[in-house]
Structure 1
Amino acid sequence: MTSRTLKAALPCSAATAIERLRDDRVFPDRAAEIVSVQDAGDDLRHWTLAFRGGTARWTQRTRDASGEQQPYRIEFEQVDGDFQHFGGAWTCTDTDDGCEAVFEVGYRTSVPHLAGAIDSAVGRVLVRAAHHILIGVGGTARITAGGHHLRDLPVAVIPEGSPSHALR
């Protein structure tokens, strides 16, 4: 299984960030990599992700996992689709100057003998989409971990002063 994590500092409260992350139907407006997110009943959504000239499709269940241990958390998991396994979470924690937002995803593609190449490419697309979503949520997103997955983005897209910008 492959996993990716992206952490960013946002200039809004954790409650505001998680509320904005709950409305995943607007994600295609924020991240060009996400072709569509459509209601599939109850807590299910059909997702289509642009990938290497084609698409990856899946249906995922999303649930609010907020509680005493972690007050602002959304978990998601594929129930059907192109991945052998796909799941993760958005977690937001208040800080002195806003919040830290964390995107975590674990996945396994359905082509085991090509997993090294495909999993890496899928991971870059997923992290890039998460980065764009976080910018949409907070207006700015200073990357604090996982920026190495964004090295293929143009410098102008990565905020000045972020660790991934310094890698250029």
Structure 2
Amino acid sequence: MRSVHLTHHAADVTPRDAYARIGDFARYPELVDTVRRVSVRPDTGDGVIGSDWEVDFRNGVLAWEEEDVFDDSALTISFRQTRGDFDTFDGHWQVTPQGTGCRVEFSAAFDFGLPTLANIVDPVAERVLKQTIGHVLHALIGGEEVAA
């Protein structure tokens, strides 16, 4: 299983504001070209929503459905694929105060379930995911990536 970790610092955005912006998944396609579509299903009343994603990957499109759990008090969003092109895809967003702004951490683990192609496909997927999340964060909250 491959993992991606990204830490981002925004000096002038409050943690609560960053959390709200990050959780607005439906905006992601207007922020980065590689995200084709995100459809968000309504909250079930317990902080859980469903979202459907289509993202450009190599010469095709990755598509999946995920369950997103929002914890407003901890400023975290956890997600896990419930159906789609990955064999496994899950992770979380964590927003914490830092100075006058905030620190955002994104972590995800994924597996395509194709062991014979893992050495070829997984590094590309890791790079695309990291670049896409970096672009999304820069568009949503400004700031910069922090070396982990």
**Correspondence for 1:112 among 115, 118, 131:** 115
More strand by share: 2
**1:12 and 2:18 equivalent?**
no
Residue 28 of structure 1 is matched in structure 2 by 29
Question: Using the alignment, how far apart are the partners of 1:30 and 1:94 within structure 2?
Answer: 24
- Structure with the larger helix share: 1
* Matching residue within 121, 124, 133 for 1:121: 124
Query: How far did 1:46 drift?
Result: 1.0
RMSD of the alignment, in Å?
1.4
The structure, 1 or 2, with the larger RCO (C-alpha pairs under 8 Å, 6+ apart) is: 2
- Structure 1 unaligned regions, length at least 5: 147-168
1:48 is matched with 54
Per-residue displacement from partner, 1:70-128 (whole Å, max 9, x unpaired)? Answer: x2111111000000100111111111131111111100013221112211111111111
Query: Quick one: which of 59, 62, 67 aligns to 1:61?
Result: 67
**Under a length normalisation based on structure 2, what TM-score does the superposition of the two structures give?**
0.90
- Distance in 1 of aligned mates of 2:14 and 2:41: 30
Using structure 1 for the length normalisation, give the TM-score: 0.79
TM-aligned CA distance change 1:40 to 1:72, over 3 Å:
closer
* 8 Å contact kept, 1:131–1:141: no
- Contact preservation (8 Å) 1:6, 1:127: yes
Misfit runs of 4+, over 4 Å? none
Residue identity in the other structure for 2:147 = A
Whether the 8 Å contact between 1:86 and 1:108 is mirrored in structure 2 is: yes
